Amino acid sequence: MRPVYRKMLVQLKQADPAAFQEATRRYREDLEPAVAGGDADPIAAWLDYGCWLAGRLAEGRAMAIDATGRARPFEPSAPDAGTMILHVPDDDRAQAIALAMPSAPSESQRETAELLLR
């Protein structure tokens, strides 16, 4: 997750400095303490942060893609290790953003990524 999130932060810094400042504040004051203190599931906390970042770059929605390729709205409170999480922008011309990929994506997930991420 972290390399993708770093890339989003760089884009955000260039596109919207105020949103970048809010992103760094959220990281320091919300994400870091919650994960370090054990107050939150680390994966769910990171995914929630990633959804927020992606939403600042492009209006859209987070979608969970299961191994069969079926999509459903993503709920950060219930991440599944085998699920691909994408931020799908409302603008059809904008590229989707991969927020999390399974370590061994299914063929359906690979095809979905190929279609939406490239």
Domain count, the chain: 1
The per-residue pLDDT for 97 is 95
| Per-residue pLDDT, 11 | 95
Q: Residue 100, exposed/middle/buried by CB under 10 A (0-12, 13-18, 19+)? A: buried
Model pTM?
Answer: 0.89
Query: Domain limits at 62?
Result: 2-117
pLDDT of residue 78: 66
pLDDT, tens digit, for every residue of 41-90?
A: 888 889 999 999 999 999 999 999 999 999 999 987 766 889 999 999 99
Q: 15-51: per-residue pLDDT in tens? A: 999 999 999 999 999 999 988 988 788 888 899 999 9
Residue 96 backbone dihedrals phi, psi, to 5 degrees = -65, 160
Instruction: Give me the helices (H) in 1-118, please.
Output: 2-15, 17-26, 32-36, 42-57, 107-117
Q: What DSSP designation does 94 have? A: S
Q: Return d(Cα 30, Cα 65) in angstroms, integer.
A: 27
